[in-house]
Structure 1
Amino acid sequence: MLIGYARTSTTDQKAGLEAQLRDLSQAACERVFQEEVSSVDKDGRGQLEEALQFIREGDVLVVTKLDRLARSVKHLLEITERLETKNATLRIIGMGIDTATPNGRLMLNLLGSIAQFEREIMLERQREGIAKAKADGKYRGRKPTEENKVEEIRRLVHVDGLSATEAAKRAGVARATAYRVLKDA
């Protein structure tokens, strides 16, 4: 059985998701798992987990691109190992890779390593760019929490007796922000 998996990083990428679903349909996938979640959100990839649990012996997990599947080479290896333990394989349409063959397994490992290398280089350049912008006074970071939000969090916790988590929800800020405000008080 061919089992498709499609993922976009945000809900704004409708066209990308539609293109993946079209390609998986053309590849004759009988079941498709899809989600709109960032690759770095480790807890948010429930559909990938469901797909990996659903797969049985002889099945093939099909994705359109490598970056739609794994966050890193380590993650890619974990996925392929899980597939191997079930005697299932992986097919990446856009690269013509099929791990049912020795050449496919070799190419997957090589391309996965190259993709991770490219990502690390990009992040390094990004950090360098931010450091230069900070040095030039052009980068100021995120805006500080509004003073009225700070006061609201303090009131919700100290006066209304709410937890920091609940106060953060009501004030519309991150939980970490609420804890930082309370710690600084």
Structure 2
Amino acid sequence: MTTYLYIGSSTEKQDVEQQAERLARVYPYDIMVREPNADPGAKPKLDRLLKRLRQGDRLIIKDVSRLGRSIIQAARVAMDLKARGVLLVVDNLESLCNPTLSVFTLIECAAQMDRDLLKDRQAIGIAKARAAGKYKGRKAIPAKLVKKAQSLIAKGMKKKDVASTLNIGESTLYKYLAMARQKES
């Protein structure tokens, strides 16, 4: 088992030395990987380190933001580490969490919350655009196209091939076929 301390920053203003000193005091005998002032979108040393980690290894970081630019990106990295049997220690969460609460669970919950908030904001934006008459949704498929699809299916063509032939998505085809069946009954 090897323990790695990952020290990094995403801007020139962040002080990596403070992170390094804190982690070195708490974990003095571990391998430190420094990546100062990385481009916000690229963290080559972290990427190499993540590939190198093996089952039983430990990765210690100062805070969750070191793993990615969003909580969802950080959750993906955390879940990958969990699946590979790598222990993730987030230094500023260890003091906040009780021992039975997994850091992975905490990151998963935060990512889910982030996704839910995004969906809520998106729904609010769509509602405002509809009220302003700017959002009308997708145009419906013409009835002729649905009839054509029904006739091709009646001739024995597979639905997947029908969707491809008519240049529409397979799920869209199923949706319109179901709507046509409802109208008929």
Deviation at 1:10, TM superposition (A): 2.6
- Provide the residue aligned with 2:33 in structure 1: 33
Which letter maps to 1:87? Answer: G
Q: 2: CA distance between counterparts of 1:22 and 1:7? A: 13
Deviation at 1:47, TM superposition (A): 0.8
Deviation at 1:58, TM superposition (A): 0.8
Partner SS state of residue 26, structure 1? helix
Deviation at 1:18, TM superposition (A): 0.5
Q: 2: CA distance between counterparts of 1:48 and 1:104? A: 19
Deviation at 1:102, TM superposition (A): 5.1
Q: 2: CA distance between counterparts of 1:55 and 1:9? A: 22
Which letter maps to 1:9? Answer: S
Change (3 A) 1:77 1:20: same
- Provide the residue aligned with 1:164 in structure 2: none
- Provide the residue aligned with 1:158 in structure 2: none
Q: 2: CA distance between counterparts of 1:102 and 1:112? A: 16
From 42, 47, 50, the counterpart of 1:49: 47
- Provide the residue aligned with 1:71 in structure 2: 69
Partner SS state of residue 90, structure 1? strand
Q: Deviations over 1:33-91 (max 9, x none)?
A: 2212143x1xx210111111221211111111112222123312321232123211211
CA RMSD of aligned residues (A): 3.0
Do the aligned partners of 1:80 and 1:89 also contact (CA within 8 Å) in 2? Answer: no
Change (3 A) 1:32 1:80: same
Paired residues, what number?
Answer: 114
Deviation at 1:22, TM superposition (A): 1.0
- Provide the residue aligned with 2:12 in structure 1: 11
Do the aligned partners of 2:9 and 2:38 also contact (CA within 8 Å) in 1? Answer: yes
Q: 2: CA distance between counterparts of 1:110 and 1:2? A: 26
TM-score scaled by length of structure 2: 0.51
TM-score scaled by length of structure 1: 0.51
Q: 1: CA distance between counterparts of 2:65 and 2:74? A: 10
Do the aligned partners of 1:65 and 1:94 also contact (CA within 8 Å) in 2? Answer: yes
Structure 1 gap ranges (5+): 121-185
Pair member with larger Rg: 2
Q: 1: CA distance between counterparts of 2:60 and 2:70? A: 18
Q: 2: CA distance between counterparts of 1:34 and 1:116? A: 31
Do the aligned partners of 1:52 and 1:82 also contact (CA within 8 Å) in 2? Answer: no
Partner SS state of residue 102, structure 2? helix
Deviation at 1:26, TM superposition (A): 2.0
